[in-house]
Amino acid sequence: MRTKFKKFQEKFIEGLLMLSGTVTSLTVVLIVIFLFNEGLGVFNKKPIDEGYVIAINQSNPVVKLSPAQIKDIYDQKIKNWKQLGGHDEKIVLFKVDDITDYYTDEEIGKNFANLPHCINDFIVKNKGVIAFFSETYLPLKFTGKYIDVDKIKVSEFLSGEEWFPTAKPVAQMGVKPLIYGTLWVSFGAIIFALPIGLAAAIFLSEIANKRIRNILKPLIELLAGIPSVVYGFFGLVIIVPLIQETFNLPVGETGLAGSIILGIMALPTIITISEDAMRNTPRAMKEASLALGASKWQTIYKVVIPYSASGITAGAILGIGRAIGETMAVLMVTGNAAIIPHTLLEPVRTIPATIAAELGEAPSGGVHYQALFALGCILFIITLLINLAVEFVTNKKKQRKH
């Protein structure tokens, strides 16, 4: 009876453990599916708000415009249809909100009853018109011509260099500057944090005596507990002006400021994990090395570091993970200009900062919303690739050792 109960108990615990394992994996899978489901939806859409049309005069020979051309038209950088292969006609911009400039309230009618008629009238009368309005005001007998806008293509999304998701009438969705910004900042952070973190870990595990370690370790771990917005504020007030003065720059909000802040934020992870790994080096190995006449330093870099290499890399990955995904601190110090950076001393806009700053206002289910999820997918793929690469490297090392 008793053994039976014990068996049942063991089975129960086993089942519970398996369940939590499955639930965790399932959650991860579900999140990934959700992310990609939302994100990939953007490539099924046109970069124009749903239910809106762009129309021109019937006599205009222009058939197709690219999103960039439409933006230039509305920014008044292109002012004549001649530049787009049409007649020599000045471009007249029209939006529904402008209707009151051209027609009196009486003509529009009470409750906008005559609005569709007015829009049609305006498009017919103006040869150079380009009008942007909702399909619901489409007149019954529309005598203008529609301009077709292509769906967003994967290649354009990835290689586009302009990020104006709220631009009217056509959004510009080019994520290249954001990807570059994220990679630059994270790369800078790791270059800055890895040597310092490694040095601190070696000091703590091999050189420092117990008393110093007992003071230093909790202090370093405390770094991980500071909220990221505090780091951001610290960066904005202290590090940004410092960078501006040191490098004599016109602006201090740069990728470098982001790298330094992220580096500091990644330090506790890197230090704690690599220190733990180093302290796990078997005493016998260290003593054997010392007994063979190796100095303390030789023991550290010939025995301790190689032994704990996988732990150090794990710390570095988790550090990079924190750096790539960190949002608030970066949002505050990098300036967030969506331009492709050429050095670390330029303002950059990272993917997480973009998602955080814009998701709140993006209408749920719209193009902008889905584009932000697509950015999330890109971020996910970047971290996945880093993880796979590190896995590959550590596996190789293990095989060589045995």
Partner 1 sequence: MKKQFLALLMIPVMTLVSCGEGSKEESEEKEKISITVKGSDTVLPLAQMEAEKLMEKDSSVSISVVGGGTGVGITALLEGTTDLAMASRDLKTEEALQFKGAKKEIVKTLIAYDALTVIVHPENKIGQLTREQIEKIYTGEITNWKEVGGEDLKIVAYSRESSSGTYEYFKEEVLDDKNYASNILSMPATGAIVQSVSQTKGAIGYIGLAYQSKSVKQLAISYDQGKTFISPSIETAKNKSYPISRPLFFMYDKVNEEKVQTIIEFTISEEGQKIVTEIGYIPLN
The residues binding partner 1 (CB under 8 A) are: 23, 26, 30, 71, 74-76, 96-97, 99-100, 111-112, 115, 134, 136-137, 162-167, 177, 236-237, 240-241, 244, 250-253, 331-332, 335-339, 347, 349, 357-358, 360-361
The radius of gyration computed from the CA coordinates of the chain, to the nearest angstrom, equals: 30
- What is the C-alpha to C-alpha distance for residues 346 and 331, in angstroms, rounded to an integer? 14
Nearest approach, Cβ of 243 to partner 1 (angstroms)? 11
Nearest approach, Cβ of 375 to partner 1 (angstroms)? 14
- What is the C-alpha to C-alpha distance for residues 159 and 180, in angstroms, rounded to an integer? 11
Q: Which is closer to partner 1, CB of 29 or CB of 381?
A: 29
Cβ-in-10-Å burial (0-12, 13-18, 19+) of 179 comes to middle
- Rounded to 5 degrees, what angle do the CA atoms 57, 61, 66 make? 90
Q: What is the residue-wise DSSP string for 282-318? A: -HHHHHHHHHTT--HHHHIIIIIHHHTHHHHHHHHHH
Nearest approach, Cβ of 79 to partner 1 (angstroms)? 12
Q: Which is closer to partner 1, CB of 225 or CB of 360?
A: 360
Bridge partner residues of 148 (DSSP): 64
Q: Which is closer to partner 1, CB of 206 or CB of 346?
A: 346
Which two structure tokens, joined as six digits, stand for 394?
């550590």
Contact 333, 232 (CB under 8 A): yes
Q: Which is closer to partner 1, CB of 67 or CB of 315?
A: 67
Q: Which is closer to partner 1, CB of 244 or CB of 383?
A: 244
Bridge partner residues of 261 (DSSP): none
Nearest approach, Cβ of 1 to partner 1 (angstroms)? 33
Q: Which is closer to partner 1, CB of 95 or CB of 151?
A: 95
Q: Which is closer to partner 1, CB of 85 or CB of 109?
A: 109
Which two structure tokens, joined as six digits, stand for 114?
């005559």
Strand order in the sheet with 92-95: 92-95, 129-134, 52-56, 145-146
Nearest approach, Cβ of 232 to partner 1 (angstroms)? 9
Nearest approach, Cβ of 3 to partner 1 (angstroms)? 33
Output the CA–CA distances (angstroms, integers) from residue 263 to 120, 197, 220, 289, 325, in the order listed.
59, 9, 13, 34, 13
Nearest approach, Cβ of 170 to partner 1 (angstroms)? 11
